[in-house]
Amino acid sequence: MQPIIRVHNLSKRYRIGRVEPYRTLRESIVRSVTAPVRLAREMIAGRGRDGARQEGERQMWALRDVSFDVMPGEVLGLIGRNGAGKSTLLKVLSRITEPSSGRAEIYGRVGSLLEVGTGFHLELTGRENIYLSGAILGMRHAEIQRKFDEIVAFAEVEKFVDTPVKHYSSGMHVRLGFSVAAHLEPEILLVDEVLAVGDAAFQKKCLGKMGDVARAGRTIIFVSHNMASIESLCNSCLLISSGRLEARGEPVQIVMRYMASELGADGGIRSLVDHHGRRRDSIPIMTSITLQSDANEPVGSMRMGSLLSASVEFSAAQRIRPFLGICLKTAEGMPLFAVSNRWTNDGADSQPTMTGTIGCSFEWLPLMPGTYVLDLFLGDFGDPYRVLDYIVEAISFEVVPADLLGTGMLPRSTDGPIFWPATWTFG
């Protein structure tokens, strides 16, 4: 099977800071006629074409040597921080802008939704813009007419379909734009952050429609900062960083790589020897803490619902039978829950020791995406009512979105920091 999109060494350069003066037609003609003489003078002065071009300007590479293939029916996610080059790449694929070097080969009809109302003529009505967009895609009038009612119903603009779109709200713009792009059946659909606009109900409809488009065998390239949507919709993913293709692979792995590099947190391991959060009356016994998730390596970020284990190393001046307490809090300092083997008597009969490691595991972390911190306290079963060492905000970590419900949707972050699935019955 041949790729439907081939991108080879694609680069896009923008020049910043140069302002072209206004010229009349006569001045432009004279300037073009005298250009060879002017260039010769610049060469004699030791300044070539590139030097003249760069005077008073600087260059920015939005894309640099990007190469990848997309197969028919593939749903490809594009992720990366703002300014990484994702939108520029879609604009090149949409033929809105030309690359500075390299090439993009596209074998199929392209529909795109890159910005709210992209491609709409503001003076035309919604009805006229639907037919115009279809014609631009190369569709016949009969094809557009067959889909017209479905497009209008999905966009929920029945009352305004004969109103000029310049009077539409931003929500109406994006609903109609997405509906046109998704219903007119292009072989390739390019979508850039459409879920960033609109209410929750519209976002759910968009996800459902893109799922239908994917199941119909059409190719989708989807840019989003909603990681749960990327995991739900896409079967492969690209990570773009500073205009370069950094990684490609399964959405879960690429999302975790992106979140780990962007969020950082404490990197999953932290020394506690000189920790600023140690309580003044503490005996400095705890020396380090390590966080791990599904892999056996320190991690500073983890997916929703994944395993979390915390291991604390200690070194005491005398032998102890240690107990450890962990309080998990939000970044704002609100306690969520606490655990301790002091309450369960695990380890109460262990042999006393001066050094060692004590840890615990949470098999399923019930947290919404966000930043969290751990408070630690350590004591001795020989005097279980006394805490020897206490550290506030010993380490922080990030919980990143995951498609735990299989729908690409999550509760609102304003509903609280705890995620808990429920079983539903209907009578």
Same domain, 204 and 319: no
Sign of CA dihedral 125, 127, 131, 133: positive
Residue 68, domain member (yes or no): yes
Same domain, 235 and 296: no
In this model, does residue 257 exceed pLDDT 90? Answer: no
Q: For strand 335-340 and strand 322-330, is the pairing parallel, antiparallel, or unpaired?
A: antiparallel
E strand residue ranges, 252-369: 269-271, 286-292, 301-303, 308-320, 322-330, 335-340, 353-362
Same domain, 325 and 251: no
Q: Using the 8-state DSSP alphabet, how is residue 278 labeled?
A: B
Same domain, 254 and 276: no
Query: How far is the C-alpha of 252 from the C-alpha of 74, rounded, in Å?
Result: 16
Same domain, 119 and 207: yes
Phi, psi angles (nearest 5°) of residue 270: -150, 135
What are the pLDDT digits (tens) for 118-172?
A: 568 889 999 999 998 888 777 788 888 999 999 999 888 999 999 999 998 877 8
Domain boundary among 261, 285, 311: 261
Same domain, 352 and 385: yes
In this model, does residue 197 exceed pLDDT 60? Answer: no
- Going from the C-alpha of 395 to that of each of 203, 269, 285, the distances in angstroms are 35, 8, 16
Task: Provide the phi-psi class of 275: left if phi over 0, else alpha when psi is between -120 and 50, else beta.
Answer: beta
Domain interval for residue 176: 5-261
Same domain, 245 and 305: no
In this model, does residue 23 exceed pLDDT 70? Answer: no
In this model, does residue 238 exceed pLDDT 60? Answer: yes
Contact 144, 186 (CB under 8 A): no
Residue 71's CATH number: 3.40.50.300
Q: Using the 8-state DSSP alphabet, how is residue 21 labeled?
A: P
Report, as an integer, the average pLDDT of 78-102: 89
User: Sorting pLDDT into bands at 50, 70 and 90, what band is 56?
Assistant: very low
Residue 280's CATH number: 2.70.50.60
What are the pLDDT digits (tens) for 258-292?
A: 776 665 555 789 999 999 889 888 999 999 999 99
Residue 417, domain member (yes or no): no
Same domain, 210 and 310: no
| pLDDT on residue 406 | 77
Which residues, in sequence order, are CB contacts of 27 under 8 Å at separation 6+?
Answer: none
Query: Structural domain tally of the chain?
Result: 2
Task: Please identify which residue in the block is written with the tokens 């008597």.
Answer: 345
Same domain, 129 and 65: yes
Beta sheet of 335-340, edge-to-edge order: 301-303, 387-400, 370-380, 322-330, 335-340
- The pTM for the full model equals 0.61
Query: How far is the C-alpha of 253 from the C-alpha of 418, rounded, in Å?
Result: 24
Q: What angle, 0 to 180 degrees and rounded to 10, lies between the N-to-C axes of helices 141-155 and 170-183?
A: 140
Give the chain's mean pLDDT.
Answer: 84
| pLDDT on residue 38 | 64
Residue 409, domain member (yes or no): no
Domain boundary among 201, 230, 261: 261
Same domain, 257 and 274: no
